[in-house]
Chain A
């Protein structure tokens, strides 16, 4: 048994030290935002935040998570009260099939936590490890910029009310 802290809650998990974090999140804790894509750390769909940094959960064994704080997309906001990054992705309609988006949002979130106003170039470099086959890349880029603005504004006005892009 080990204790895993996810989204502010402690979970007692019965897993081997080499079990990938992704399996524990999805199978044991039933948090399904992080996706299984390639299982090789090559596509980014499984990305979560560990102690403020984006981490590929499919190649992260439980042994590395002692005493650390894991955040998944579910920990950022809810459907009724989305976090800025989630709202920005919805407002920009940045998801098509959506499989890659949870991972991309988590890495973008980690980026915005340490850099509140990233440039296009910085966002592109940061999101380089993520694959998206639908091709919504330009919308994703806009969504990250929008999230930066939303986080910057205490009571951000939604896009419908005419915020400039």
Chain B
């Protein structure tokens, strides 16, 4: 081998080795030593209680519990564009749960998405938000989870295609999208706003549903809170693109997040019903803080959008709009199936929301409206809560479509939806699946009194 070529080979070798070392450093994390499960007595009761509230704010139970299954035992299928990922068992079972995880291992999972053994975790576990969770909150969450009932439930095999079934691919994802900087308070804002920002951007991970994702499944930072998709529901835009006829403010957000409904906005359904179910049981100051921060995210509506909202409300007041003539079937269905509650004048929760204020009807996509018409709203056990019958049994897809088109024309000033019937067909299939796999949507809080009565 001649001199120059040996030099080139040497450089290539160094580059390759260096690259491999860097890749190794990014990809590989050591296992953290297993511990003897500490048992529930090892944790301070006040810390556990704080962890309970934090876990409720983090909505941990809803992904880590299957319908009819044991709390936090995992196994919930999470559909993604890349395949189905099953949630893990986060009970303190030594063999199948996190019983042998030290607090350090737990914190590393929250911060950088590794399990105790050092394997990458899929970002369906929203560690891209949990980087913001403070050490002391991680400690409380750890104390809470380690004092739950251990459940023996082995992880289910994810159903992913190549290359997504290779965990090292996650290293690349993290390199592109995971920011390790934690939340920094904004001194220009109030303590309450900062508390809200800390929770929303961190543990509550609101953007995981409400922010659209890019082709690699990461939240698009440039479109924060512009609306996203979850479980065949549309998570509404919460920024200035919100379609709410009456703009959100902190008081409305607080009431909605606390009670699950608000007369100017309607009722939390689908995955959001689970979120508000959890938020009903945490300190009201935290819910208030979230509301204050999110009101800032919604911002003052543009004059254009404000005008649109007012026009929609006005249009609904004159009940004999053009919609009634054009769509006789939709009008008849509406008169009997919907108006009896939605025009009763009874206040929520037992009366229906004024449909001109329904974000579902003004939304760019009819999915949520289709879901709600088919499945209704189940009452929360032991509480005054909204209730609506589902109409899946009494209406064909064509009839639901006629109704949806009628509602759109009558109660919004948006253009007609396209392919409504296709959406209804999909919704009928997906709702069946959703109801089978999701955790009981109407589990009452341990103490219903905790939810402040309207």
Contacts and interface: CB of A to CB of B under 8 A. Distances in A.
Interface of A: 16-20, 39-42, 50, 53-56, 58-64, 121, 128-129
A55 B387 contact: no
13 contacts: A40-B340, A42-B387, A50-B394, A55-B394, A58-B340, A59-B336, A60-B336, A60-B394, A61-B333, A61-B337, A64-B399, A128-B378, A129-B389
B336 A18 contact: yes
Nearest to A128: B378
B387 A19 contact: no
Contact of B389 (A18, A19, A56): A56
Nearest to A121: B68
Contacts, number: 58
A47 to B, nearest CB: 10
Interface string B372-414: 0000001000000001110101110001000000000000000
A64 B394 CA distance: 7
Contacts of A17: 328-329, 332
Interface of B: 68, 328-329, 331-333, 335-337, 340-341, 344, 350, 378, 387-389, 391, 393-395, 399
Contacts of A63: 329, 332-333
In the complex, the 7 A-B pairs of residues with the closest C-beta atoms, listed nearest first: A61-B336, A41-B389, A53-B393, A18-B332, A18-B335, A17-B332, A63-B332
Given A17-B332, A40-B340, A62-B332, 20 more contacts: A17-B329, A18-B333, A18-B335, A20-B336, A39-B340, A40-B344, A41-B389, A42-B389, A53-B393, A55-B393, A59-B340, A59-B389, A59-B391, A60-B394, A61-B332, A63-B329, A63-B332, A63-B333, A64-B333, A129-B389
Given A17-B328, A40-B341, A50 B387 contact: no
User: Which of A17, A64, A128 has most chain B Cβ within 10 Å?
Assistant: A64
Contacts of A61: 332-333, 335-337
Contacts of B389: 41-42, 56, 59, 129
Contacts of B337: 41, 59-61
B304 to A, nearest CB: 36
User: Which of B336, B341, B378, B388 has most chain A Cβ within 10 Å?
Assistant: B336
Contacts of A50: 393-394
Contacts of A41: 337, 340-341, 388-389
Contacts of A64: 333, 394-395, 399
Contact of B336 (A19, A42, A53, A121): A19
Nearest to A44: B389
Contacts of A60: 336-337, 394
A107 to B, nearest CB: 10
A61 B402 CA distance: 14
A114 to B, nearest CB: 12
Contacts of A19: 336
Nearest to B393: A53
Nearest to B346: A40
Nearest to B395: A64
Nearest to B329: A63
Contacts of A58: 340
Contacts of B388: 41
Nearest to A60: B394
